Amino acid sequence: MKNKVNVSRDIPKPLAHYAVARRAGQFLFLAGIVAADPKRGIVINSYRDLEDEAGKALETGDMSIDCQEGRVAAQTWYIFSTLKRILEENATSLDNVLKLTTYMKDVSQFPAYVRVRTMFFPENPPASTVVEIKRLLPTDESLLEVEAVAYIPEGS
């Protein structure tokens, strides 16, 4: 089925009654992704919460920077890692992300967010909008949420 969306067990389940993603022709619309890991029942709050080697790659080694940026950097990494996996399961990639919308509780944390986002989009970044909001689900520990629109190449 051409409009079928693939979402494996490795992708966090929605926090409520909505689809992780919907496909319309060659476009994939992704719901907002937050840094909540329902398997472990946690919101990502530090580099130590990341399951891969990302924490080591993100840490600067300067405690004052890592304490200030660590939470938003770790959440950003988790979100973009999840986005990447969803895209790959649906025959596309980060290179085909056309638009990102990011909701942040505190836009003063934007530099740390951009530092990590650039690791995922080093060249040809997507069109992007950042909006500061008061609150996010599932808990007040959530600092940001990212939704995306991606293109799926012909024949996929």
3-state secondary structure the chain: CCCCCCCCCCCCCCCCCCCCEEEECCEEEEEEEECEECCCCEECCCHHHCCCCHHHHHCCCCHHHHHHHHHHHHHHHHHHHHHHHHHHHCCCCHHHEEEEEEEECCHHHHHHHHHHHHHHCCCCCCEEEEEECCCCCCCCCCCEEEEEEEECCCCC
Give the predicted TM-score (pTM) of the model: 0.88
Most confident among 9-18, 42-51, 107-116 (mean pLDDT)? 107-116
Average pLDDT of the segment spanning 79-105: 95
Give the pLDDT of residue 141: 92
pLDDT tens per residue, range 62-91: 777 767 788 899 999 999 999 999 999 999
Q: What is the mean pLDDT of residues 97-110?
A: 97
In this prediction, what percent of the chain has a pLDDT beyond 90?
60
Query: What structural domains and CATH numbers belong to the chain?
Result: 21-151 (3.30.1330.40)
| Banded pLDDT at 46 (limits 50, 70, 90) | confident
Selected residue with higher pLDDT from 3 and 138: 138
Q: In this predicted structure, what is the pLDDT of residue 1? A: 46
Residue 101 reports pLDDT greater than 60: yes
